[in-house]
Amino acid sequence: MGKVLSANLGYPRIGEKREWKKALEQFWAGKISKETFLDTVKNLRLSYLKKQKDIGVDLIPVGDFSLYDHVLDTAVLFGLIPDRFKSDEKEISLETYFSIARGSKNFEASEMTKWFNTNYHYIVPEISNETKPYLTENRLLNLFDEAKKELGIVTKPVIVGPVTLLKLSKGYEPDHFNALLDSLLPLYVQVFQELKEAGAKWVQIDEPILVKEQSKEDLAAFTKAYRFIKNGVPDLKLLLQTYFEAINDYKDVIQLPVDGIGLDFVYGKETNLASLKAYGFPEDKVLAVGVVDGRNIWKTDLKATLTELQTLLSSVKDHGNLWITPSSSLLHVPVTLSNETALDPILLNGLSFADQKLSEVVTLAEGLNEGETAIDGTLQKNSADLQTLQQSEHRNNKEVQKEIDLLDEELPTRPGSYKLRRQIQADAFNLPPLPTTTIGSFPQTKEVRQARRNWRRGEWSEERYEQFIKDETAKWIQIQEDLGIDVLVHGEFERNDMVEYFGEKLNGFAFTRFGWVQSYGSRCVKPPLIFGDVSWQKPMTVKESAYAQSLTNKPVKGMLTGPVTIYNWSFVRDDISQGDVFNQIALALKKEVHALEEADIRMIQVDEPALREGLPLKEDKKAGYLHDAVYSFRLATSFVNNDTQIHTHMCYSEFDEIIDTIDALDTDVISIEAARSHGEIISTFEDFEYKKGIGLGVYDIHSPRIPSVEEMKSYAERALKVLDPNIVWINPDCGLKTRRPEETIPALKNMVEAANEVRKELSDTVEK
């Protein structure tokens, strides 16, 4: 009888204090050489492996580390790069790798979108019908050999599986899927064969696409793929890993020719448990059970989980066929609690970051192998910590709970129809056709960040810091005036992050010092912790918005982050329903919207860029989520006067799936991206007649390149083929916080010129 093993699925890349991010950005800026950069990231990579070994993890992944994105890594491994970046060289250079992700002087970056329903973004592989995959360099072999040579660890290589890789790619016709799969499979076999020869025992193949609905053809593709791979490397053990939800096609999946299957018993718990109970599990396969939450930061209830695991043991013939794992890669949580010294002890003792989660995995395996008494002290402390948090005053605010109880089931509604509001607002604002604006933030320069640090450290007084913010605001109001932008923003120089800023001013939130996670590339975010009941204390944005409005006769938008985005971009308590947390946040924001309106801010943007990313992966759960999202947004905004214009912003969303929901938000203007997807998103509006205001993101702010006037015009002109010119606005596709002034100003100048030229073309057409 073997022993239960502990295994990790993936570890955060960024480092305890974002050392990875800093190395990347220094290299991109030319401040360190390529050799220094590669040495730095190698040392980081090895330190992560050593840490996992020291924690006691039995099966440690390799290949989860990336210089940018693991999907891009897999695409590059197999030569699946956009034609515009191709050269005669077989190997793909580091410079080309980063150009695909970030764009170059001559070429646009590849599209970026959400990784399933997380806040991580992956680079979308671009594949044509004629694409011929080839093995560029066996990166996994190099990493496996490195870990074995440097640390003596026989790791478990990790790779995105062939079906998921192709399903997440774009550019080829659906009827070419099987041909592309056939061309990829021998390359997977080659990679795995070389790993086997180097001493690998297991390889983890991530197929998260399996948690979505599969057709018969999809299931046939999985059978073909894994039969081919297993026949090609019969002596290498294959772990088919799923996460983020349950698999619907359990009976089919457990018959696949693999040696182990990983299931999510956190986010797919009920369905996966039911399937396991109904259909059993093959005696000759490993069952990897994801019982430690890989996406949230609360301690696992070890006692309850151990009881569940003891039941799961009956599903496998040999204890050695049960692995304890996180529910997904730990990419989605901060690295460690060891540097968090300022948190309320009640909260701190309820938290678990990546390192602590691995300790939980190891502890649970120990409890199964050695018996509950072997971990009794840990179990007792764990239970006491969770109970103390649950009983704290933070989670028992009677006033907030009463407000939630009094909410009506009917959707909140605006006082007037959109048609009426549009006419009232047109008269009030008197904007030109295709009005130009930006999404909200302007460059957070080194000087802005340093000023905030000086203030937070107490080196600057409140008065000095406020004057600095005023000066920056005035400077950028004037820049916008000079550029000829029609609707201005104050620039958000006082804000560290669009969610964190609000969380710091609301009750029920807490903040870590080093709780960073990767969002895309080197972009890291430090999500707030929604750990208690949420409530409004005092105005959060009125002072800055009112000051900016005092500097100009043009309208200045008030800028807020919406309830769903605050939820989705936070680590959220899991003891009450999602809808209740949405509405707690919405009630707090409602008070802020009211305060802005009272201060005569007549355009208010309530951003919901994360609305779609929270969409459940299961069809039967989507309607409930979208209803809750619409309800909370309208709860926060629908009470305003007809002459107050409500805007929202969404980025990188597949709008065709949620266009009815977007319409139901009943905003006056929504801004979307149209550049990063190369205008493809506009096709949504060919089938759906959208009648409210819509702002086109005509340039990609995530790339340092400055798009031309003609390029931006092309997106606007394409949109105007399907949209009424009277509802169209022109804007960047996202906030400009991460860009430098020398990139931002010329790009906005081109944007305004593009808008002016299209206006003239429209005017000439009307005159004719």
Considering only the C-alpha atoms of the chain, give the largest distance between any 2 of them, rounded to a whole number of Å: 87
User: Is 2 assigned a ligand-binding role in the annotation?
Assistant: no
User: Is 176 assigned a ligand-binding role in the annotation?
Assistant: no
Q: Kindly tell me if the per-residue pLDDT of 764 is higher than 80.
A: no
Tell whether 373 and 423 lie within a shared domain.
Answer: no
Tell whether 354 and 467 lie within a shared domain.
Answer: no
Per annotation, catalytic residue among 70, 394, 647, 702: 702
User: Is 114 assigned a ligand-binding role in the annotation?
Assistant: yes
The letter for the amino acid at 557 is K
Tell whether 663 and 553 lie within a shared domain.
Answer: yes
Across the range 693-712, mean pLDDT stands at 88
Domain annotation covers residue 607: yes
Tell whether 521 and 593 lie within a shared domain.
Answer: yes
Domain annotation covers residue 404: no
User: Is 150 assigned a ligand-binding role in the annotation?
Assistant: no
Q: Kindly tell me if the per-residue pLDDT of 123 is higher than 60.
A: yes
Tell whether 385 and 434 lie within a shared domain.
Answer: no
377 Cβ neighbours under 8 A, 6+ residues apart: none
User: Is 730 assigned a ligand-binding role in the annotation?
Assistant: no
Tell whether 491 and 631 lie within a shared domain.
Answer: yes
Across the range 504-516, mean pLDDT stands at 95
In tens, the pLDDT along 136-166 reads 999 999 999 999 999 999 999 999 999 999 9
User: Is 577 assigned a ligand-binding role in the annotation?
Assistant: no
- Given the DSSP bridges, would you call strands 260-264 and 237-241 parallel, antiparallel or unpaired? parallel
Tell whether 423 and 302 lie within a shared domain.
Answer: no
User: Is 523 assigned a ligand-binding role in the annotation?
Assistant: yes
> For residue 231, how many other CB atoms are within 10 A of its CB?
10
The pLDDT of residue 527 is 92
Dihedral of the CA atoms 300, 303, 309, 313 (nearest 10)? 150
Confidence of residue 105 (pLDDT cuts 50, 70, 90): confident
Q: Kindly tell me if the per-residue pLDDT of 676 is higher than 70.
A: no
Tokens of residue 639, six digits: 């009470």
Q: Please name which of 497, 494, 507, 664 lies closest in space to residue 565, comparing C-alpha atoms.
A: 497
Residue 133: CATH number of its domain: 3.20.20.210
Tell whether 357 and 461 lie within a shared domain.
Answer: no
| Lowest mean pLDDT segment, chosen from 143-152, 300-309, 657-666 | 657-666
User: Is 524 assigned a ligand-binding role in the annotation?
Assistant: yes
Across the range 498-518, mean pLDDT stands at 94
Tokens of residue 202, six digits: 């297991």
Higher pLDDT, 261 or 90: 261
Using a pLDDT cut of 90, give the percent of the chain over it: 86
Q: Kindly tell me if the per-residue pLDDT of 262 is higher than 80.
A: yes
Tell whether 691 and 733 lie within a shared domain.
Answer: yes
- Given the DSSP bridges, would you call strands 529-536 and 506-510 parallel, antiparallel or unpaired? antiparallel
Domain annotation covers residue 307: yes
**Domain C-terminal end among 361, 393, 425:** 393
**Domain C-terminal end among 393, 426, 444:** 393
The letter for the amino acid at 198 is A
Tokens of residue 11, six digits: 């570890």
User: Is 711 assigned a ligand-binding role in the annotation?
Assistant: no
The pLDDT of residue 91 is 83
Domain annotation covers residue 401: no
The number of residues in the chain equals: 768
Tokens of residue 664, six digits: 């139901």
The pLDDT of residue 119 is 87
In tens, the pLDDT along 5-62 reads 999 999 999 999 999 999 999 999 999 999 999 999 999 999 999 999 999 999 999 9
User: Is 19 assigned a ligand-binding role in the annotation?
Assistant: yes
In tens, the pLDDT along 361-390 reads 999 999 999 999 999 999 999 999 999 999
User: Is 492 assigned a ligand-binding role in the annotation?
Assistant: yes
The pLDDT of residue 431 is 97
Tokens of residue 52, six digits: 């996992």
Q: Kindly tell me if the per-residue pLDDT of 768 is higher than 80.
A: no
498 Cβ neighbours under 8 A, 6+ residues apart: 440, 441, 492, 561, 565, 569, 607, 735
CB 101 within 8 A of CB 76: no
The pLDDT of residue 677 is 59
Q: How many domains does the chain have?
A: 2
Confidence of residue 696 (pLDDT cuts 50, 70, 90): confident
Domain annotation covers residue 84: yes
Domain annotation covers residue 230: yes
Using a pLDDT cut of 70, give the percent of the chain over it: 97
CB 382 within 8 A of CB 299: yes
User: Is 408 assigned a ligand-binding role in the annotation?
Assistant: no
Tell whether 146 and 225 lie within a shared domain.
Answer: yes
Q: Please name which of 358, 331, 386 lies closest in space to residue 531, comparing C-alpha atoms.
A: 386
Phi/psi for 18 (5° steps) reads 60, 35
User: Is 516 assigned a ligand-binding role in the annotation?
Assistant: no
The pLDDT of residue 650 is 86
Confidence of residue 653 (pLDDT cuts 50, 70, 90): low
Question: How far is Cα 661 from Cα 659, in angstroms, rounded to an integer?
Answer: 5
Tell whether 459 and 545 lie within a shared domain.
Answer: yes
Q: Kindly tell me if the per-residue pLDDT of 90 is higher than 90.
A: no
In tens, the pLDDT along 590-610 reads 999 999 999 999 999 999 988
User: Is 28 assigned a ligand-binding role in the annotation?
Assistant: no
Higher pLDDT, 485 or 697: 485
Across the range 538-557, mean pLDDT stands at 97
Is 702 noted as a catalytic residue in this protein? yes
| Lowest mean pLDDT segment, chosen from 11-20, 89-98, 377-386, 696-705 | 696-705
Question: How far is Cα 126 from Cα 112, in angstroms, rounded to an integer?
Answer: 11
The pLDDT of residue 673 is 72
Confidence of residue 517 (pLDDT cuts 50, 70, 90): very high
User: Is 535 assigned a ligand-binding role in the annotation?
Assistant: no
The pLDDT of residue 570 is 96
User: Is 628 assigned a ligand-binding role in the annotation?
Assistant: no
Q: Kindly tell me if the per-residue pLDDT of 275 is higher than 70.
A: yes
The pLDDT of residue 718 is 86
Name the pTM for this structure: 0.88
Across the range 397-425, mean pLDDT stands at 95
Across the range 735-747, mean pLDDT stands at 94
Across the range 729-733, mean pLDDT stands at 93
C-alpha separations of 62 from 136, 147, 202, 231, 710 in Å: 19, 8, 11, 24, 45
Full residue range of the structural domain in which residue 350 is found = 5-393
The pLDDT of residue 679 is 56
Domain annotation covers residue 619: yes
Question: How far is Cα 480 from Cα 712, in angstroms, rounded to an integer?
Answer: 18
Tell whether 308 and 438 lie within a shared domain.
Answer: no
Across the range 500-523, mean pLDDT stands at 95
